[in-house]
Structure 1
Amino acid sequence: MKKDKIIYWISTGIIALFIIPGIFYLNSQMALDGTKHLGLPMWFHWELGIAKFIGAILIVLPFTPKRIKEWAYVGLGIDFLSATIAHIAVDGVSGMAFFPLLMFAILAVSYIYHHKLVKE
């Protein structure tokens, strides 16, 4: 049980540390240029950035209701998979295109260990 909690909090912490600070950089030139490079509209840039921030907060908070936490995991998973597809579609296969898959794998570990802890 202790090992499961450690794995859960490390994986969840990595996801949170990756996503939560991003809200402060949504208006940065690099973020805006990246959105434009992928051919996405600016309204989607803001909507996705805010939704990711809320999703990361929801998976970190231990008192988040189970169903809401479940949907936060789903949303973040779709985001990471979509980011991989978008990067491959625009830039082709490159190392940067697979970074979202790494984050998806860490998210999957967090999800699996979240369910192990809920069962106990």
Structure 2
Amino acid sequence: MKRDKLVYWVATTLVVLSLGFAGFAYFTDPAVKAGFKHLGFPDYFRAELGIAKIIGALALAIPTVPSQVKEWAYAGVGITFISAAIAHISSGDPVGMVMAPIVLFVVLVVSYRYFHKLHAVGGQLAGATH
């Protein structure tokens, strides 16, 4: 059980940090603004996605967030990672730009799998609600 918790929290922390840093950068980094323009997205989408990533990070990070809310957060974050990979592929960006969201998606899937594994064993996540 300790191993499962460790895997869950390591994977979740990696995703949460990625979302948090990205959400912050969407509002503060001119290179990110230029990147959105390069991908063909309107500027308001950058702000919208930044807010969504911060909310998603909080939903995944806070143990007392209800499971149903976490399910929606996992779905939304997964869609953003897949969409990012598609956007970078479509724009002809380098492999690293395409692989980063794919790797994060895999880490998200690990977090999701272990989230359910821990809940199936009687809600072993500290403070988690069902």
Greater shift in the superposed pair: 37-46 or 15-24: 15-24
- Kindly report which structure 2 residues correspond to 1:1-120, keeping only aligned pairs within 5 A, or say none: 1-27=1-27, 28-91=29-92, 94-120=95-121
Tell me, in whole angstroms, the C-alpha distance in 1 between the residues paired with 2:63 and 2:51: 20
Gaps of 5+ in 1: none
Cα 1:18–1:4 shift into 2, 3 Å: same
Count of residue pairs the alignment pairs up: 120
1:96 alignment partner, SS class? helix
The whole-number CA distance in structure 2 between the counterparts of 1:45 and 1:75 is 15
**Structure 2: stretches of 5+ with no match in the other structure:** 122-130
Tell me, what secondary structure is at the counterpart of 2:95? Answer: coil
SS at match of 2:91: helix
Aligned-partner Cα distance in 1 for 2:34–2:94: 20
Identity of aligned residues (%): 45
Q: CA deviation at 1:92?
A: 5.2
Q: How many Å separate the matches in 2 of 1:51 and 1:58?
A: 10
Superposition TM-score, scaled by structure 2 size:
0.88
Normalising by structure 1, we get a TM-score of 0.95
Say if 2:81 and 2:102, in contact at 8 Å, map to a contact too: yes
